[in-house]
Each structure stands twice: as C-alpha cells, then as structure tokens.
C-alpha cells in the first residue's frame, strides 16, 4: 500500500483511501472494491486542469473527508420520518438513512407482478454475477465519483421490472441524511427495465442544513428494447453539503426514456450523466431545473452517446441563479459513425437574478456520422424589463411579477415530467424555492 | 378635484428630451382624446404616467386624485386606479393568461382593501367580460398574448381593463390594427366602462374611433406638448387638414 499512499496529494484523498481500505468488504464485492480503490489511489480527485472538471474542482472543494456514516439508529430514523419531500405522490418508498437501508421506512410488500426490489446485499448473495453489472457501464473512463462509490460499495438497492410488466405506481428511492455532525454517505441504486416493460422512478436527496456532510450516489439504469422508463430526481441537500452523483444510463432498441432533475440543494454539487444509446431508434428526454442562491454551486454534466442509428435526444436545462450562485452546464452529444439519422437537440438556458451570479455553459457536439440532425444552444440573461413592466402595470407587485416570470422560465423544463402528481409536487418544491427569495 | 392632473411635465429618454412641458387635466367622467403626429411623444406620456423606468422625469408633476403619481411604483399606480392599454402589448411566454389575470385582479383588490375573488367568482367574471369583448375562451388558455393576432392583443388589453376596474384609463392607439367589427366591439367595451367617476385618455390617429367613443375634449400634441385643445369637431378638422399647421407650433 505504500506506493498507493504516496500517490495521494491531499489530506482528503488520503483519508478516503484509509477509510475505504478499513471498510470491511463482503466476499462477493471484495475484489471489485479493491480494484476501484486502487484506481482512486492512483488517479485521485479531479482538479480544474482535468477538462471535464474544469468548473468543479473536487480537489479544491473537498478538503477533508468526514467519517463514514454509521447507519441509522432510532434517533436518525425518527428524524428521517419528519422528512416530507415528495411524500404525496402515491409512490412506493424505499428509504436509505445515512446510507443504510431502513426497512421500517420502506415498502417492499405487495409488489406489483413483474416488479422485484432487493437490497444489493441480498441480491449479491443470490446472484454473484451481479458484480459485473455494478462494475460495468462506464469501464473505459476513470471517474473519481464512480471509483469512490465503487470502493465504498456496501448498501444499495436493485430494482428489476420483468419483461412486459407495466408498473404504474412510482418507485421512490429516498436518500436521507440526518444528525448534526458531518458524515460521508455512499449509495448505489440499480434499475433494470425489461423488454416492453414500463416504470417510473423517483429519487430524492435531502439532509440537514448547516452540516458539512458529503454524499456520493450512483444510479445505474438499463432500459431494454421497447421499454419505457421515467426518472425524476430531486436534489435538495442541506446548505453546507457536498453532493456528488451520477446517473448512468443505457437504453435499448425503440425504447423511451425521460428524466427530469430538480436541483436546489447543497453548497456544491456535481451530477454526471453518462448516457448511452445502446439500441436503434431510442428516444430520450433529459431535462432539469436548477435553482440556486447564496454561494451555491451546482454542476450538471451530460455525456449523451449516440452509438446506434435513429436515436432521438432532447436535453433541456433551465438554471436560475440568485445572489452569487454559480451554475455549470456541460453537455456533450457524441454521434458515432454508426449512429446515422440521429436527431439531437440540446438547450441550456440560464437566468441570472443576482449581479454576482455566474453561469458556465459548455455545450458540445462531436459528430462522426454524416446523416444527422444535431443542434445545441446556450443562453444567459436577466429578467426582461419590458415583461416585468407589463405585469407590474397590471398591479402585480415586483416580487410576484418576478416569480411569475421565473416560474415560467423553469416551468418549461418541469413540464417534461409526464406524471401529473409528480410534476405538481416538483412545481411545489420549486415554488417553495421562489417563496423563500428575499 | 381633477382625476388626472399633469403640469408642465418634462421627460427624457436616452438623453433625448421628449416631453417638454405638457399640461393636461382630466376630470372624473370625462373622455379626452389626444391626437398628434408620429413621434410627438404620445406613447412616452402614457409610459411616464404608468411608471416605465426607461423614462426620466426631469420636471413637472402628475397626480391622480391629488396624489403624486411619479413617486409610486408601477404596480402601486395600477392599484390606485391607473390603467394603460399598451400600443404594443407584448407576449409573455410561459405565463398562463388566467394565472396572470387572476394574480393581477387579486393583487389590485388586495391593495384596494377588497376581498380576493374566489375561483368560481373570478371565472364567472372573466367569462362574462370575455364574452362582451368577443374573446374566445380558448384564447385565454394560452400564455399571455402568445399567438394572439394584433387585434386579439388589443381586445385582451380591454379585457384586462374591464377586470381591473381602473379610475383613469389611458388607451394608446387601441384602435390601430382592429378590423371594423373589432373596433366597434372595443368601443362598446370602453363605453360600457364610462362612468361618472372614471376618466379616459384616448390616444388615436383616427377620427373613426372617436365616432364610437365620443370625447369631451380633443387635444393636439406636437413635439412633447399639448399645442391645441378643442371639442370633438377638432378631430374632424385634423382628419381633413392633417398636422401641417402644428409641425412648427412647438
Ligand atoms: N426607449 C426609447 N429610446 C429612444 N428613443 C425613444 C424611446 N422611446 C421613445 N423614443 C423617442 O421618443 C419620441 C417619441 O416617441 P413616442 O413613442 O412617444 O411617440 P408617439 O407620439 O407615441 O408616436 P406614434 O404616433 O408613432 O406612436 C420618438 O422620437 C421616439 O423615437
Ligand atoms: Mg405611440
């Protein structure tokens, strides 16, 4: 281990290596974890000279590693119960508190036909080959968040929808952090939707304000041929938290995928979406609304990889930045030589409310096929004075007029959510953000 | 007391003097028309009264029922009873017409000390007023003015006016872009609102509108001032002779 430790450049990197080395590993995943840890030890946290991390310098951001969370005791569970984000959407809830699966706050009973939900530990005990899936999906490229998440692999959930099953009740995976002292929390969720099946997944992340905890969650999705999956994600972490997350997706022939991400929380966050078109004629919408204030920083990085022909992708991100907040959108659409007839459209629009707010927008196209239609756009602007005046001339006070315009701005992205209950609940959360504007 | 009293009003935009000492008094119940060549400052007057921040008031005063308008925020002016029907109503994508109307009506009612309207009462009111103005309900399902024709936008302005029940209505070329039937509908809409405690300032280029909305007083504006004031017959005279006589009057 000496050689590895020498590679560590910062105290935080060394602390991660130590803590994760000491973490007992179940047999089934031991070698996977060791491999990931070795990789992390070699490459460490990315910094601003690493192109994909230019705007979110993890080495500068993560100065230390809080101790690994010790799961959920009675007090933690009691605190988690008070959390009410998206509890009114009629979903089946699966709850993790401080990284630990909490059966008491999860509903695994009466699963619809074709739906299977298993903790990763149980799933691995039954079928060790699952390990390859956990390691897979993005094997060629080093990603510190993925490496750390894999090195810390412990608890998680496996959700499988059998071919042909239509699961109507949304499945809500909740990641709740509790307590008053900083912890490090890891989580993994794997969702497999079989051919011609359909499901809706919701994922939420919440935690206490004023506590500098860190979370790292990876969601792995695979959508088989002719299948349909909707994903809605809400990141409403506490105001001092660092939130690192990935949504890794692969979609099959003629499949349909929609995702929406609401980001309002954390002192700093990074959400990376490596997304592969593994089949022909697949269609995906990847949308999001990011609402930040104070000195918050949130980075969304998409990597849309069209490897097969006939794919359609729509990316729409709306970012609202108040005060001195910093938004980052990096969106890359790759169209590989075989991906003829790809139709990709990406748009990232930012609304700056604060004089010192800043948006870093980096849309990119890498096209290697000739018969494709791809476009991207990025805009940054302030509220339109003429629109504001029109509203105010009708008696609507300034703040309310601004709220109407801000809401209409991010509303376009929220509208992409198919499920009306979830859409309304997300709109409410966003409305809460607006109402708290000073 | 005068409803609207404008005294020696001077305003500029981007370093350019537009209003150069304008005087105007509208008493309760009166309809005044303002006519004048393009660029004489008619819209500027309406914007200055409504409180658009691009315009800098450099002198003079404007009061509504004795209260200094120029000190108030635009929404407060609206709540006090000033209404401007815009010459060019803008589109507000993403803001639903009904949400907008309801927010406006209730904001104004709240400031005036009235109860907010319940949803059924509000809907009933919109339906009634929209019908009077021949506005299709389906139009109101769209975002504010989005996809409305020029004439529809103008009618929508009058709908807002009817909903907000202002005291002093400033109509900036509400007739331009209206077909003959729509002109009649809009004029009827305005006439329905005529009341002894309400005043109108109708900016127009055409005598035609004034056949329907018969004014008590007609003003000619040129180069940022009122240069002549008369009765309804003045509009006929302008229609016949044009503004040539006033070009140098200011
Ligand atoms: N925001 C602005 N920036 C620069 N110039 C302006 C602005 N608004 C008005 N002006 C100028 O002020 C003058 C008066 O314009 P205004 O729109 O008030 O005229 P008007 O009498 O309403 O004309 P019309 O009959 O064509 O509507 C014009 O010369 C116009 O170009
Ligand atoms: Mg004008």
**pLDDT per position as a tens digit, B53-73:** 999 999 999 999 999 999 999
Pick the residue whose CA is nearest to atom 26 on ligand 1.
B38
**Nearest partner of A375 among A405, A337, A344, judged by Cα:** A344
Distance CA A24, CA A152 (A): 10
Distance CA B90, CA A291 (A): 27
Q: Which residues of A touch B54 (CB under 8 A)?
A: 385
pLDDT for the residue numbered A4: 46
Cβ separation B103–A404 shorter than 8 A:
yes
Query: String of b and e for A78-90 (b: at least 16 CB within 10 Å)?
Result: ebbeebebbeebe
Cβ separation B92–A408 shorter than 8 A:
yes
Among A82-91, A273-282, B20-29, B47-56, which is the least confidently predicted range? A82-91
The SS3 call for residue A404 is: helix
User: Count of A–B CB contacts within 8 Å?
Assistant: 76
DSSP A56: S
Tokens of A419: 């499920």
**Nearest partner of B108 among B90, B81, B128, judged by Cα:** B81
What is the Cα Rg of chain A in Å? 21
Strands B31-35 and B199-203: parallel
pLDDT in tens, A43-76: 999 999 999 999 999 999 999 999 999 999 999 9
Q: Give the phi and the psi of residue A247 in degrees, each rounded to 5.
A: -125, 110
Across A154-166, average pLDDT? 96
Across A231-252, average pLDDT? 97
pLDDT for the residue numbered A2: 43
Q: Closest partner residue to A395 among B94, B95, B107, by Cβ?
A: B107
Best probe of the A interface among B52, B96, B104, by most A CBs < 10 A, is B104
Across A99-103, average pLDDT? 96
Give residue A66's Cα distance to chain centre: 21
Nearest ligand by distance to the CA of B87? 2
Among A140-149, A425-434, B53-62, B159-168, which is the least confidently predicted range? A140-149
The order of strands in the sheet holding A115-119 is: A115-119, A156-161, A184-193, A214-223, A242-251, A268-277, A297-306, A326-335, A358-367
Q: Closest partner residue to A393 among B50, B94, B99, by Cβ?
A: B50
In this predicted structure, the answer to whether residue B140 has a pLDDT above a threshold of 90 is yes
Across B191-211, average pLDDT? 94
Residue A404 contacts B where some CB pair is shorter than 8 Å: yes
Tokens of A47: 């910094």
Distance CA B247, CA B67 (A): 34
Point out the ligand 1 atom lying closest to the alpha carbon of residue B41: 18
Residue B55 contacts A where some CB pair is shorter than 8 Å: no
pLDDT in tens, A412-425: 999 999 999 999 99
Neighbours of A9 (CB within 10 A): 12
Tokens of B162: 């009817």
Residues of chain B with pLDDT > 70: what percent? Answer: 98
Pick the residue whose CA is nearest to atom 17 on ligand 1.
B43
Q: Would you place residue A133 in the very low, low, confident or very high pLDDT band (cuts 50, 70, 90)?
A: confident
Nearest chain A Cα distance for residue B54, angstroms:
9
Distance CA B229, CA A397 (A): 36
Are B70 and B77 a contacting pair, CB within 8 Å? no
Cβ separation B73–A393 shorter than 8 A:
no
pLDDT for the residue numbered A138: 54
Strands (E), A137-282: 156-161, 171-176, 184-193, 198-206, 214-223, 228-236, 242-251, 256-263, 268-277
Write down the mean pLDDT value for chain A: 94
Query: String of b and e for B163-182 (b: at least 16 CB within 10 Å)?
Result: bbbbbbbbbbbbbbbbeeeb
Ligand 1: centre distance to CA B18 (Å):
8
Q: List pocket residues of ligand 1, CB cut-off 6 Å.
A: B 13-14, 16, 18, 36, 38-44, 54, 87
Beta bridge mates, A376:
A346
Which of B9, B41, B49 to mutate for ligand 1's pocket (most ligand atoms within 8 Å of CB)?
B41
The SS3 call for residue A181 is: coil
pLDDT for the residue numbered A136: 65
Residues of chain B with pLDDT > 90: what percent? Answer: 84
**Nearest partner of A199 among A91, A118, A102, A94, judged by Cα:** A91
pLDDT for the residue numbered A374: 94
Residue A399 contacts B where some CB pair is shorter than 8 Å: no
Across B40-55, average pLDDT? 97
Among A267-276, A328-337, B134-143, which is the least confidently predicted range? B134-143
Residue A407 contacts B where some CB pair is shorter than 8 Å: yes
Highest average pLDDT, of A10-19, A373-382, B235-244, comes from: A373-382
Q: Which residues of B touch A405 (CB under 8 A)?
A: 92, 94-95
Write down the mean pLDDT value for chain B: 94
Domain boundaries, given as residue ranges, for chain A: 68-383
pLDDT for the residue numbered A7: 55
Nearest ligand by distance to the CA of B34? 1
Residue A386 contacts B where some CB pair is shorter than 8 Å: yes
ipTM field: 0.96
* Cα end-to-end distance, chain B, whole Å: 29
Instruction: Identify the residue with better confidence: A24 or B172.
Output: B172
């Amino acid at each position: 281990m000496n050689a590895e430790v020498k590679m560590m450049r910062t105290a935080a990197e060394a602390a991660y290596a130590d803590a994760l080395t000491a973490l007992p590993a179940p047999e089934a995943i031991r070698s996977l974890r060791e491999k990931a840890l070795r990789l992390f030890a070699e490459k460490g946290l990315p910094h601003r000279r690493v192109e994909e991390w230019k705007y979110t310098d993890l080495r500068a951001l993560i100065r230390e590693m809080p101790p690994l969370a010790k799961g959920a005791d009675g007090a933690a569970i009691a605190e988690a119960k008070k959390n009410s984000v998206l509890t009114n959407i009629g979903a089946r809830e699966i709850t993790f508190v401080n990284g630990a699966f909490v059966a008491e706050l999860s509903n695994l009973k009466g699963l619809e036909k074709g739906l299977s939900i298993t903790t990763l530990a149980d799933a691995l005990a039954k079928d060790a080959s699952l390990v390859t899936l956990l390691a897979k999906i993005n094997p060629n490229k080093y990603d510190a968040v993925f490496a750390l998440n894999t090195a810390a692999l412990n608890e998680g959930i496996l959700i499988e929808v059998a071919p042909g099953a239509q699961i109507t009740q949304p499945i809500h995976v909740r990641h709740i952090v509790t307590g008053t002292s900083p912890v490090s929390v890891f989580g993994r969720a794997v969702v497999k939707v079989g051919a011609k099946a359909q499901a809706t997944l919701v994922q939420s992340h919440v935690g206490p304000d004023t506590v500098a905890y860190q979370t790292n969650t990876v969601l792995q999705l695979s959508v088989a041929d002719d299948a349909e999956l909707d994903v809605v994600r809400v990141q409403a972490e506490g105001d001092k938290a660092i939130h690192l997350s990935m949504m890794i997706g692969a979609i099959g022939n003629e499949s349909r995928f929609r995702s929406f991400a609401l980001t309002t929380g954390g002192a700093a966050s990074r959400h990376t979406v490596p997304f592969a078109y593994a089949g022909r004629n697949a269609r995906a919408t990847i949308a999001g609304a990011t609402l930040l204030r104070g000195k918050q920083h949130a980075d969304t990085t998409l990597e849309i990889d069209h490897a097969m022909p006939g794919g359609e992708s729509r990316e729409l991100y709306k970012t609202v930045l108040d005060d001195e907040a910093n938004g980052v959108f990096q969106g890359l659409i790759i169209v590989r030589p075989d991906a003829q007839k790809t139709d990709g459209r990406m748009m990232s629009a930012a609304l700056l409310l604060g004089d010192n707010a800043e948006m870093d927008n980096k849309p990119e196209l890498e096209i290697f096929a000739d018969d494709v239609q791809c476009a991207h756009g990025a805009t940054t602007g302030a509220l339109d004075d003429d629109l504001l005046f029109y509203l105010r001339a009708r008696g609507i006070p300034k703040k309310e007029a601004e709220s109407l315009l801000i809401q209409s701005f991010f509303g376009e992205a929220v509208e992409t959510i198919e499920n009306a209950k979830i859409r309304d609940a997300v709109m409410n959360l966003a409305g809460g953000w607006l109402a708290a504007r000073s | 007391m005068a409803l609207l009293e404008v005294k020696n009003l001077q305003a500029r935009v981007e370093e350019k003097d537009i209003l150069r000492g304008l005087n105007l008094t509208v008493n309760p119940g009166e309809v005044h028309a303002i006519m004048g060549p393009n660029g004489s400052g008619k819209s500027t007057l309406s914007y200055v009264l409504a409180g658009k921040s691009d315009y800098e008031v450099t002198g003079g005063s404007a009061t509504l029922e004795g209260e200094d308008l120029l000190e108030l925020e635009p929404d407060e002016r609206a709540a006090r009873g000033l209404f401007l029907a815009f010459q060019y109503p803008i589109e507000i994508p993403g803001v639903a017409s009904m949400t907008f109307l309801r927010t406006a009506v209730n904001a104004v009612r709240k400031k005036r000390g009235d109860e907010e309207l319940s949803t059924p009462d509000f809907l009933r009111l919109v339906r009634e007023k929209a019908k009077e103005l021949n506005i299709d309900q389906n139009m109101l399902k769209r975002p504010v003015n989005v996809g409305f024709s020029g004439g529809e936008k103008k009618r929508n302005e009058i709908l807002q006016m009817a909903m907000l029940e202002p005291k002093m209505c400033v109509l900036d070329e509400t007739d331009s872009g209206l077909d003959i039937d729509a002109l009649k509908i809009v004029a009827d809409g305005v006439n329905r609102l005529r009341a002894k405690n309400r005043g109108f300032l109708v900016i127009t280029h055409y005598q035609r509108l004034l056949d329907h909305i018969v004014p008590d007083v007609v003003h000619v504006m040129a180069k940022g001032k009122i240069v002549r004031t008369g009765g309804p017959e003045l509009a006929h005279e302008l229609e016949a002779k044009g503004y040539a006589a006033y070009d140098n009057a200011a």
